[in-house]
Amino acid sequence: MLKTLGIVQACFGSRDSRCLVNRRLGSRSLLEWVVRRVTDCARLDGVIVVACNREEHAFVSELVPADVPVLLSEQPDALRRFGRALEEYSTEAVVRVQGDNPFIDPGLIDRLITSAESESNCDYASYCCRDGRPAILSPLGICAEWFRAAALRKAVRSAKTAADREHVTRYLYSHPEKFNIRLIPAPPELDREDIRLTVDMEEDWEHALTIYDALGPEALDWQRIADLLDHQPALRKRMAHLNRVCAEG
């Protein structure tokens, strides 16, 4: 049995999101870039990609590096797709990463695993924003989630609403009375209203290219990104605008 398995979630609901993960950062597609960032983690015992077994997701297997397994699941919702992955891969815990977050940080993932394992009865661990929300609900775009496999199996059995079943970890962090939740403050240098590192739309992609071109492929840790953005007020202004628009809409 593995101790901690990394799972990159590569089910993209819209045509625009599927197009974005085909875009290239340097010589790699966005999805391959994310997968390679996750395989750089020192505390993971393995990495797989979970995708929908549908015609519109056939491209996923072509973008994932050959040494990383792809599980194509026919399960009808994201929660059950992860449950299916746990049937195929025996592991004590999972780190979930979204396949369209190019700035996911291996160092922050390793720190998350260490923090979660320091509490023997932890079921779910994540970074959180200043307002207390799990960072996965924010546009920060650099953080992963950790959860115990047994906790996810419980969620698969118990979650009833469409929202809980379509968002893998929503049932876990929404029920602190049922699960032991551990939230770690996100880096304050990036936990700001004028920072947006997720890639959900075309302008997000342009911002990602700007950061990549400025720092290069070997210097994309969160500290260097924070330092770069600290010296780019115009870019932060656009990010703040996008965050406001998305929050309102």
Cβ count within 10 A of residue 47: 22
pLDDT of residue 84: 95
Considering the chain, tell me which residue range(s) the CATH 3.90.550.10 domain(s) occupy: 2-185
* Percentage helix, strand, coil for the chain under 3-state DSSP, each rounded to 5: 45, 20, 40
pLDDT of residue 52: 85
3-state secondary structure of 146: strand
Instruction: Identify which of 199, 197, 202 has the alpha carbon closest to the alpha carbon of residue 215.
Output: 197
Residue 99 CA to chain centroid, in angstroms? 6
181 forms beta bridges with: 124
Q: What CATH number has the domain spanning 2-185?
A: 3.90.550.10
Would you say 96 and 169 are in contact if contact means Cβ atoms under 8 Å apart? yes
- Measured at the CA of 70, the angle between CA 59 and CA 219, to 5 degrees, comes to 80
d(CA 183, CA 189): 17
Alpha helices in 72-169 (DSSP H): 78-88, 106-117, 149-158, 162-166
Write out the chain's pLDDT in tens, 249 residues.
899 999 999 887 666 667 788 889 988 999 999 999 999 999 999 999 999 887 777 788 889 999 999 999 888 899 999 999 999 999 999 999 999 899 999 999 999 999 999 998 999 999 999 999 999 999 999 999 999 999 999 999 999 999 999 999 999 999 999 999 999 999 999 999 999 999 988 999 999 999 999 999 988 999 999 999 999 999 999 999 999 999 887
pLDDT of residue 13: 63
